[in-house]
Amino acid sequence: MDTARFFAELPSHFAGDPQEHDPIDSGWDVIAKDVSGFTSPNELAVLNLAARLLPAEECYLEVGTFKGRSLCGAVRDVSGRKFYAMENFMEFGMAGELARAELLDNLGRYAADADVELLEGDCFRLMATPGVVDRPVGVYFYDGEHTQLSHYLALAVAEPLLADETLVLVDDASWPVVQRAHRLFLKSHPGWSIEATWDAREADDPRWANGLHALVFRRTAPSRLSRRDEALRRYQVSVQDRVNAVAWKAAGVMPGVVKSGARLLLSRSRAIGGGQR
Ligand SMILES: C[S@@+](CC[C@H](N)C(=O)[O-])C[C@H]1O[C@@H](n2cnc3c(N)ncnc32)[C@H](O)[C@@H]1O
């Protein structure tokens, strides 16, 4: 993926500096209003430009598809490119069947001509499964679980799948928890850099939601998961995953109690503008 071209072309898709302006194309608003989800029109414009610039011999990988808003934006008017989407239908008390049906309906309306493969399951298991994608990932969009460990693993576990030059877009990146994970990860993994940050001014900012950061990976040596990172991955898929499943189930049964507890626990790690970094 020619990431320099992506950063050079991006401003021409906005009415001015993307941080402060809306996209020129109002089509992103239409998708954001019609498809239930979390990504903003500005984010959709960024994802779509990335997909347009993807070389045919590379693929696009999204983690965290929910009902498909980000994917519907990414694939718009992009033909001849392969899109993979990983989703475990666990968060937001999503009743799997209902969420899946809504996702498939949205993809039917907005991505009927696109080559999309939905990979259902835990991304940290899927990404470590040999042959899960059929070509190097040139654009990687992470919008899955938002803990420090999951954001660290989102980069570590994906790295072996990435092309020699990859654009990596991370959602909710204005949250301190995401930035801490990136700092930790970049300290011990060569070839990675943070190239652009479009931050939210407030939680759920209409322009940038909770912030989008663009990282670039340039391979400097063959990628393989270190023993330490593999141990963290195993913890995530064997212990943390079960804890999450129980927590989301509890949220379905006692929504008020769980919401208040979660708000208290997450208030620092997800504070935008002046939160502890
Ligand atoms: C914030 S939502 C994604 C929003 C979506 N990209 C949009 O544009 O509306 C996060 C999604 O990630 C999924 N998710 C969380 N952890 C995951 C995991 N370990 N593997 C796969 N999907 C996961 C959740 O089920 C949820 O649907």
Report how far residue 47's alpha carbon sits from residue 191's, in angstroms, rounded to the nearest whole number.
22
- Averaged pLDDT score across all residues of the chain: 92
* Extended beta strands in the chain, E state: 59-63, 82-87, 115-120, 137-142, 162-171, 192-198, 212-218
Q: Which H or E run includes 156?
A: helix 148-156
Given a cut of 50, whether residue 224 has pLDDT beyond it is yes
Could you tell me the two tokens for 229? 């990172």
Domain boundaries, the chain: 3-266
pLDDT of residue 93: 63
Choose one of 38, 87, 129 to mutate for the ligand 1 pocket test, by most ligand atoms within 8 angstroms of C-beta. Answer: 87
Contacts of 257 (CB under 8 A, 6+ apart): none
Report how far residue 222's alpha carbon sits from residue 235's, in angstroms, rounded to the nearest whole number.
24
Alpha carbon distances (Å) from 1 to 12, 114, 164, 268:
19, 19, 8, 36
| Listed range (96-110, 171-185, 219-233) with the worst mean pLDDT | 96-110
Q: What percent of the chain clears pLDDT 70, i.e. is strictly above it?
A: 89
> Mean per-residue pLDDT for 95-104?
85
CB 161 within 8 A of CB 262: no
Given a cut of 50, whether residue 276 has pLDDT beyond it is no
CB 140 within 8 A of CB 64: no
pLDDT of residue 266: 61
pLDDT of residue 97: 76
Report the DSSP pairing between strands 192-198 and 162-171: unpaired
* Between 39 and 252, residue with greater pLDDT: 39
Residue range 202-214, pLDDT digits in tens: 999 999 999 999 9
The CA angle 16-56-226, to the nearest 5 degrees, is 90
Q: Which CATH class is domain 3-266?
A: alpha beta
Query: What residue type is assigned to position 229 of the chain?
Result: D
* Ligand 1 centroid – CA 138 distance (Å): 20
> Mean per-residue pLDDT for 66-90?
96
Residue range 18-42, pLDDT digits in tens: 999 999 999 999 999 999 999 999 9
pLDDT of residue 95: 66
Report how far residue 207's alpha carbon sits from residue 201's, in angstroms, rounded to the nearest whole number.
9
Task: Kindly report the protein residue whose alpha carbon is nearest to atom 27 of ligand 1.
Answer: 66
pLDDT of residue 90: 82
* Extended beta strands in 126-191, E state: 137-142, 162-171
Query: Quick one: which of 158, 152, 213, 136 has its CA closest to 188?
Result: 152
| Listed range (49-53, 143-147, 244-248) with the worst mean pLDDT | 244-248
Could you tell me the two tokens for 57? 């011999």
Query: If pLDDT is split at 50, 70 and 90, which confidence band does 243 have?
Result: confident
> Mean per-residue pLDDT for 270-275?
68
Task: Kindly report the protein residue whose alpha carbon is nearest to atom 9 of ligand 1.
Answer: 37
Given a cut of 80, whether residue 76 has pLDDT beyond it is yes
Task: Kindly report the protein residue whose alpha carbon is nearest to atom 24 of ligand 1.
Answer: 91
Query: If pLDDT is split at 50, 70 and 90, which confidence band does 135 have?
Result: very high
* Ligand 1 centroid – CA 266 distance (Å): 17
Q: In the chain, what is the straight-line distance between the N-terminal and C-terminal CA atoms, in Å?
A: 31
Given a cut of 50, whether residue 275 has pLDDT beyond it is no
